């Protein structure tokens, strides 16, 4: 078979089962593609030996007829996931040299299902960022370029390496994590599908924590069908994570009928933003029409607290991060600064943290400790928590009135040039304007590639679903994907 790296998970699974290819062949093809793609900065720790061992084991399993859907499928794993014996650095200097003795539940479930890990993927440091530029490894690069331009674009963040690797066909799919948009925004910037499940669907155990009440892992794939297949393999109850939900995970792929007749799709007024590019507005309208043509009913809805979502998120997420990151003390994990004669434990903490954390992480820790400090706790943190409850209530109310899914743009722009917003945190934070509400409310959300802008860059639409109804959400996304017919691929320059 030719072009093995271009296969979807579903195609590869079927080809493996028919004996048209082997996992070893697929894995070798991906490893070759990865070797030629260093310019993308996507894979930051390559694990070819592990990959070949797992591919051989997968081929045995497939031959024996005992092969789950993910068996033999080569995937990349975001550097935020702890992987046994393999560097897991969350793209931070402070975790330099850290090789966990355990496997995160999600990557472990993929491993048990027979998936083949090719290596670890680039990301923003501790998943804080929207452009993959805060990474200690240097930024990942978007395989897409604007027509007639050789300017390097961001793949988005924080799961930028995952997005770049999947869009460039270095792997069939990748894991991502999403605290405020880090699966959906990079998926939209690179023309792929990104699913953030309901909070509690995927275990957070063994995933380096950013903001524990918001973090969720999810699949980043070439198609909605693949998101269904891989998502199902990643989800499930885990007693090691107290927020993991004890709920059955349905067969999502079997739910992809493409039939959305009678479904009610909400179009939220508050997501129509001043200064939003006309192309995004037009795509959003086109997406709504496509769903209507497929038999859904459109309904204008109001989510009145949307405008407070970004400020609330940028209080809550840093607050939780400042607490989670207190564990990096130079003793338990990774990096420790060189100490001078006479330095004590305080100097060790201070120097290690000053040298080990990058500027954005330090900004979050400072904002977080500030909003949690005695004099400001009520004014900022408690206020943000109340806003969060109101945002969730907005969604609860529209779902209670019969809305099945909500359609919005995924991002306020297409991929932007690397360096463009790096010195402007507020501009950078605006990337998350359509996605953070979903994390604050704990809902499932998916980004589906739906068109190209005038410069030939991909744009995504977001669908937001009812809690625990990823199956229904995926089916609506499938209908949108079918109608949009997005098949464009980046031209190879790397
Ligand atoms: N860009 C957002 C942030 O910087 C979201 C990141 C994420 O989802 N991990 O916090």
User: Phi/psi of residue 173, each to 5°?
Assistant: -165, 170
Interatomic CA distance for residues 439 and 350, integer angstroms: 32
Distance (angstroms) between ligand 1 centre and the Cα of 60 equals: 40
Is 286 catalytic? The answer is no
- Using a 10 angstrom Cβ sphere, with 0-12 exposed, 13-18 middle and 19 or more buried, the burial of residue 38 is exposed
Residue 361 Cβ contacting ligand 1 at under 6 Å: no
Is 78 catalytic? The answer is yes
Query: Which atom of ligand 1 lies closest to the CA of 178?
Result: 8
Query: Which atom of ligand 1 lies closest to the CA of 181?
Result: 8
Q: What is the crossing angle of helices 309-324 and 383-400, to 10°? A: 120
Distance (angstroms) between ligand 1 centre and the Cα of 308 equals: 16
Residue 130 Cβ contacting ligand 1 at under 6 Å: yes
Placement of tokens 């593609």 in the chain: 33
Among 121, 162, 176, 180, residue to substitute to test ligand 1 (most atoms within 8 Å of Cβ): 180
Question: H or E stretch including 445?
Answer: strand 445-452
Which residue is closest in CA terms to ligand 1's atom 10? 128
Distance (angstroms) between ligand 1 centre and the Cα of 64 equals: 43
User: In 3D, which of 71, 34, 27 has the Cα closest to residue 51?
Assistant: 27
| pLDDT reported for residue 165 | 98
| pLDDT reported for residue 421 | 85
Residue 178 Cβ contacting ligand 1 at under 6 Å: yes
Residue 352 Cβ contacting ligand 1 at under 6 Å: no
Residue 182 Cβ contacting ligand 1 at under 6 Å: yes
Catalytic hit among 23, 130, 182, 322: 182
Residue 162 Cβ contacting ligand 1 at under 6 Å: no
Among 182, 189, 360, 411, residue to substitute to test ligand 1 (most atoms within 8 Å of Cβ): 182
Residue 484 Cβ contacting ligand 1 at under 6 Å: no
| pLDDT reported for residue 1 | 65
Q: For the CA atoms of the chain, what is the radius of gyration? A: 21
Query: Which atom of ligand 1 lies closest to the CA of 183?
Result: 8
| pLDDT reported for residue 274 | 83
Is 46 catalytic? The answer is no
pLDDT averaged over 10-residue windows placed end to end, the chain, 494 residues: 91 98 98 98 98 98 95 98 98 97 98 98 98 98 97 98 98 98 98 98 98 98 98 98 98 98 98 90 98 98 97 98 96 94 96 98 98 95 98 98 98 95 88 96 98 97 98 98 97 96
Among 127, 184, 314, 430, residue to substitute to test ligand 1 (most atoms within 8 Å of Cβ): 127
Query: Which atom of ligand 1 lies closest to the CA of 177?
Result: 9
Query: Which atom of ligand 1 lies closest to the CA of 313?
Result: 10
First to last CA, the chain: 23
Instruction: List CB contacts of 142: < 8 A, sequence separation 6 or more.
Output: 152, 153, 154, 155, 156, 163, 164, 167, 189, 190, 415, 490
| pLDDT reported for residue 148 | 95
Cα 292-295-297 angle, rounded to 5 deg? 55
Among 181, 185, 187, 437, residue to substitute to test ligand 1 (most atoms within 8 Å of Cβ): 181
| pLDDT reported for residue 276 | 86
């Amino acid at each position: 078979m030719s072009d093995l790296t271009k296969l979807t998970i579903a195609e590869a699974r079927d080809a493996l089962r028919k004996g048209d290819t082997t996992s070893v062949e697929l894995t070798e093809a991906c490893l070759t593609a990865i070797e030629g793609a260093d310019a993308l900065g996507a894979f930051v720790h390559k694990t070819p030996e592990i990959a070949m061992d797992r591919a051989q084991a997968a081929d045995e399993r497939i031959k024996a007829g005992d092969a789950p859907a993910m068996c033999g499928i080569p995937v990349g794993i975001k550097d935020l996931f702890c992987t046994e014996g393999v560097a897991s650095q969350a793209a931070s200097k402070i975790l330099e040299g850290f090789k966990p003795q355990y496997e995160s539940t999600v990557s472990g479930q993929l491993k048990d299902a027979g998936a083949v890990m090719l290596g670890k993927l680039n990301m923003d440091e501790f998943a804080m960022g929207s452009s993959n530029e805060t990474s200690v490894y240097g930024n990942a690069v978007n395989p897409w370029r604007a027509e007639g331009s050789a300017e390097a674009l961001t793949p988005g963040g924080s799961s930028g390496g995952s997005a770049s690797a999947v869009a460039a066909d270095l792997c069939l799919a990748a894991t991502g994590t999403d605290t405020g948009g880090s699966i959906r925004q990079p998926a939209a910037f690179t023309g792929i599908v990104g699913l953030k499940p309901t909070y509690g669907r995927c275990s957070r155990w063994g995933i380096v924590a950013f903001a524990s009440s918001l973090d969720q892992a999810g699949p980043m794939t070439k198609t909605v069908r693949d998101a269904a297949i891989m998502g199902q393999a990643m989800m499930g109850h885990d007693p090691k994570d107290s927020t993991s939900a004890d709920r059955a995970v349905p067969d999502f792929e079997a739910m992809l009928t493409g039939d959305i007749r009678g479904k009610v799709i909400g179009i939220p007024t508050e997501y129509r933003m001043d200064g939003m590019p006309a192309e995004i507005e037009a795509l959003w309208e086109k997406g709504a029409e496509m769903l209507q043509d497929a038999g859904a009913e459109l309904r204008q809805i109001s989510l009145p607290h949307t405008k407070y979502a970004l400020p609330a998120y940028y209080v809550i997420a840093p607050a939780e991060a400042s607490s989670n990151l207190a564990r990096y003390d130079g003793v338990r994990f990774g990096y420790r600064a060189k100490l001078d004669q006479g330095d004590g434990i305080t100097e060790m903490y201070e120097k290690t943290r000053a040298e080990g954390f990058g500027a954005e992480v330090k900004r979050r820790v400072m904002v977080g400790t500030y909003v949690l400090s005695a004099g400001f706790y009520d004014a900022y943190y408690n206020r943000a928590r109340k806003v969060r409850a109101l945002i969730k209530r907005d969604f609860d109310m529209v779902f209670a009135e019969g809305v099945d899914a909500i359609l919005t743009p995924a991002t306020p722009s297409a991929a932007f040039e690397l360096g463009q917003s790096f010195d402007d945190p507020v501009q950078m934070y605006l990337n998350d304007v359509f996605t953070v509400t979903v994390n604050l409310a704990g809902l499932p959300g998916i980004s589906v590639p739906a068109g190209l802008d005038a410069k030939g860059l991909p744009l995504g639409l977001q669908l937001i679903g009812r809690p625990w109804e990823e199956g229904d959400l995926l089916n609506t996304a499938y209908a949108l994907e079918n109608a949009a017919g997005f098949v464009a691929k980046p031209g190879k320059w790397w």
